Structure 1
Amino acid sequence: MAVSMLRMRCCVSLHASCSRLKRARIFLTLGSKFHCSAPASSELLFSLHKRGVLKDSFPEKAAQDQLPRLLQSVPQTVYCGFDPTADSLHVGNLLAIIGLLHFRSAGHHVLALLGGATAQIGDPSGKTSERERLSADVLEENTRGIRESIQRIFTNHEVLFHDSSTPLGTVNVLNNRSWYKSWGVVDFLSETGRYFRMGTMLSRHSVQSRLRSADGMSLTEFTYQVFQAYDFYHLNQIYGCRIQLGGTDQLGNLMSGHEYIHKVTGEEVYGLTIPLVTSSAGDKLGKTAGNAVWLNRDKTSPFELYQFFLRQPDASVEGYLKLFTFLPLAEVERLMEQQRENPSKRLAHKRLAAEVTKLVHGKEGLESAKRCTNALYHSSVQALEQMSDEELQELFREAPFCELFLEPGTTVIDACRKVRAIPDGPRG
């Protein structure tokens, strides 16, 4: 046990001290091997790293040596978790879904895990205060909204983006509430708690940062890594899952899952992290930061999503094309060259906005976004005439409004003057 703990500490220390350049060399070394063979799985890790979708791996040495061969051997099962703390996912979560889509396109099986149970615990990672407790009704509503969003995106990808000549892996959307509802607290702690060590748990960055905060950290939040570790174990036992995707802020939770499974089963499993999506100011995009761009139409319309990506700074657009679209990298390079030749046309921005909107909302959503854009920014009367009531409400959702009762004989000009939409002037 002491040797095992020493090995874990060494891995953590090595990971923390590695520079971005060193990690890039590791993946590029892997990538040079992938180019030697033809199967899609053999090039997957290299491609994901080159696009920027993958950031770190754990355990680093094992992932470098064993994971490429594992992915080439037989289809693997990969999972990523999403806690339903709101009734919609946001752009900050989209990159994790895209990671799953890349694995599925390469023939691997993917699991999207909804944290109906873990959302009640609250993940302390990246948080400065404890998450507010959610009622059962709110959790159920949130879970339903996120499930529909994930299923819609997977369907859009399969129909609009995937090459039908290549077989897709399977996809399942699960809820961890289903395996926790029958556990008693004493039984769960007796079964799992003995495999976790306080020193290791306390050393996690998410725990350390919360312990130094003004409010400290509750026991509930402290146990979150135990539940996420057990989720990985359960999926490993039932679905043969050996790979977990998560944001870079989830590295400590991924490490806990790896350690728990290795202690219980002796099996090697892997964690892969994806970068956090940040604003141009460097702030993390999400609900906690208050700058979320949602994936459900009732919270962020296709038009608003389209405009979010259309307005990205020039310096961000190439990276976002690699991260958020499935365009071949050679096509991204051609787009950027065209943009540099004629920046005013914003071809790269428009393609980025169109690809993401189509993935999230389908073809109809993209057409809706274009109609609203043409009506609002290009003074297209035809586009305005074609807009539905829903689109008009979405377009002017944040606009100020005024209610008034119209008397018989009131003209449009009179109405506009009453609500001060136009200045008063001579009548006639």
Structure 2
Amino acid sequence: MTNVIDILTERGFIEQTTHDKELRDYLSAEKVTCYIGFDPTASSLHVGSLVPIMSLAHMQRCGHRPIALVGGGTGLVGDPSGKTEMRKLLTVEDVANNVLGLKEQLSRFIDFSDNRAIMANNADWLTELAYIPFLRDIGRHFSVNRMIKAESYKMRIDSEEGLSFIEFNYMVLQAYDFLELRKRYDCCLQMGGSDQWGNIVAGIDLIRRVDGENAFGITFPLITTASGAKMGKTAAGAVWLDAERTSPYDYFQFWVNTDDRDVGRFLALFTFLPMDEVRRVEKIEGADLNAAKSILAFETTRLAHGEEEAKNAYQSAVSMFGARQLPGNLLPSSTIPRGSASSDDQTVPQLEMPADAFNDGVPCFKLFHEVGLTESSGAARRLIQQGGGYVNGRRLEKFDEMITSNDINDMEILLRAGKKKFFKIRIKN
């Protein structure tokens, strides 16, 4: 059986591991239980969380049992890692509602049936702790001198706001999580982002001191785009896994717009397509590379939103931009439709309007605002004046240009704001 370490390494997941040889032997010898923590600061995860999610899915595919630990308890404290200011403290109700949303999303990637994976919440044990016994039994194992050298604390200590006492406890609580999961589920492997290295090592050390047992850690690199931007951030904000926050169509378009230099890397990280197929993508260019982007977008959307939504998003893209030729030998394991896709999509925002509404013409800036492509008429004026307004692919020259019956093509008018925002007006007689 292929060692999951080899799979994660080949696909670009691993930055650091503890006890390299012992960890490899451990994962080769038996089915193990591993965990990753997810911070419930929102009711949805975003694209930046996909590396840990996909790593848990790979662990499960290799026969191991993943634990998705939702920080219902630590979420009430706030993780200082990677932050220069204190996180907003959440209420118990906020955290409880967010936990429900995260569980639903994680279930799309990980099979929780028949105890094949576990969804745990550290509120189950952290909120029950007695303070003085916890300090005596657990706190005594932590050196303040070592803690303040951790990167997650150094950034905050050096910041203007400083590090609060409540945040200073976070490393101790996360280490205790690892100890508790080892006792409850025989979990001896924690994984997380590179900013979690100090917290993971603290947990390994605590398990050794309290129980005399070995434990292991793996961290993932911070994923950035070829341009150096943080993965999952756009001008419009985060790209969410929740369809209410980021529609399946917009999610699909986010991946279609991947930089040419990132296509192969993102196929390795964010899909389950075989690596021998993915490696071939690194040698292609032009139209074939654009086709590979469509497949990347389809596969990532399928994982996050399901096969039907992925097909709808793909059909919508075909309707907007025309069909791309998808060679049969390009990433053949993908389930993307390779025949002619229907242009009768329902996922691009649209509405019906009577044909006679355009008899006298409608000023284009008013139409853009009315259908929601801009927040105001003034914003629509600026958009069009700056060359960002289109009708049926034609750039509008004047903000008050009239959209008339002459602009109806096949009983439709297609509006576009910038490169990515579309709206379709369906004409009814």
State the TM-score bracket (shorter-chain normalisation): 0.7 to 0.9
Please state how far the C-alpha of 1:350 moved relative to its aligned partner.
1.7
198, 202, 211: which one aligns with 1:256 = 202
Q: CA RMSD in A?
A: 3.0
288, 312, 315: which one aligns with 1:368 = 312
Size of the aligned set, in residue pairs, is 357
8 A Cα contact 2:40 2:99, kept in partner: yes
1:348 is aligned to: 292
User: Residues 2-31 of structure 1: CA distance to partner in whole angstroms, max 9, x if unpaired?
Assistant: xxxxxxxxxxxxxxxxxxxxxxxxxxxxxx
Give 1:299's aligned amino acid.
R
> Secondary structure of 1:233's partner?
helix
> Secondary structure of 1:153's partner?
coil
1:272 correspondence with 2:218: yes
1:46 is aligned to: 6
1:298 is aligned to: 244
User: Residues 62-98 of structure 1: CA distance to partner in whole angstroms, max 9, x if unpaired?
Assistant: x222112111222000100001001111111111011
User: Residues 305-327 of structure 1: CA distance to partner in whole angstroms, max 9, x if unpaired?
Assistant: 21111111111111111111112
Q: How does 1:133-172 map to 2 (within 5 A)?
A: 133-155=89-111, 170-172=116-118
Please state how far the C-alpha of 1:302 moved relative to its aligned partner.
1.4
Q: Distance in 1 between matches of 2:404 and 2:234?
A: 52
1:377 is aligned to: 321
> Secondary structure of 1:133's partner?
coil
**Structure 1 range deviating more: 278-287 or 85-94:** 278-287
Structure-2-length-normalised TM-score: 0.76
* Cα separation, partners in 2 of 1:409 and 1:311, compared to 1, 3 Å: closer
Please state how far the C-alpha of 1:411 moved relative to its aligned partner.
2.7
Please state how far the C-alpha of 1:148 moved relative to its aligned partner.
0.5
* Cα separation, partners in 2 of 1:249 and 1:291, compared to 1, 3 Å: farther
8 A Cα contact 2:39 2:70, kept in partner: yes
8 A Cα contact 2:358 2:403, kept in partner: no
User: Which structure is higher in strand share?
Assistant: 2
> Secondary structure of 2:67's partner?
strand
* Cα separation, partners in 2 of 1:307 and 1:47, compared to 1, 3 Å: same
8 A Cα contact 2:80 2:86, kept in partner: yes
Q: Which has the higher contact order (CA 8 A, sep 6+)?
A: 1
8 A Cα contact 2:56 2:110, kept in partner: no
1:55 correspondence with 2:8: no
1:123 is aligned to: 79
* Cα separation, partners in 2 of 1:192 and 1:372, compared to 1, 3 Å: same
1:66 correspondence with 2:43: no
240, 257, 270: which one aligns with 1:311 = 257
Q: Distance in 1 between matches of 2:174 and 2:222?
A: 19
Please state how far the C-alpha of 1:427 moved relative to its aligned partner.
10
User: Residues 76-130 of structure 1: CA distance to partner in whole angstroms, max 9, x if unpaired?
Assistant: 0010000100111111111101111111111111100000111111111111100
* Cα separation, partners in 2 of 1:70 and 1:320, compared to 1, 3 Å: same
401, 408, 411: which one aligns with 1:423 = 401
> Secondary structure of 1:203's partner?
coil
2:230 is aligned to: 284
Give 1:294's aligned amino acid.
W
Q: How does 1:19-34 map to 2 (within 5 A)?
A: none
What 5-or-longer segments of structure 1 have no aligned partner?
1-38, 159-167
8 A Cα contact 1:336 1:348, kept in partner: no
8 A Cα contact 2:301 2:310, kept in partner: yes
Please state how far the C-alpha of 1:413 moved relative to its aligned partner.
3.9
> Secondary structure of 1:152's partner?
coil
Q: Distance in 1 between matches of 2:275 and 2:257?
A: 22
What 5-or-longer segments of structure 2 have no aligned partner?
325-340, 368-399, 407-429
* Cα separation, partners in 2 of 1:229 and 1:96, compared to 1, 3 Å: same
Structure-1-length-normalised TM-score: 0.76
User: Residues 249-307 of structure 1: CA distance to partner in whole angstroms, max 9, x if unpaired?
Assistant: 11011111111111101111011011122244423346899842111111111111211
1:106 correspondence with 2:66: no
* Cα separation, partners in 2 of 1:410 and 1:347, compared to 1, 3 Å: closer
Q: Distance in 2 between matches of 1:173 and 1:321?
A: 27
Give 1:145's aligned amino acid.
G
Q: Distance in 2 between matches of 1:354 and 1:256?
A: 40
Q: Distance in 1 between matches of 2:178 and 2:405?
A: 73
User: Residues 319-353 of structure 1: CA distance to partner in whole angstroms, max 9, x if unpaired?
Assistant: 1111111122111122333x33x446512212211
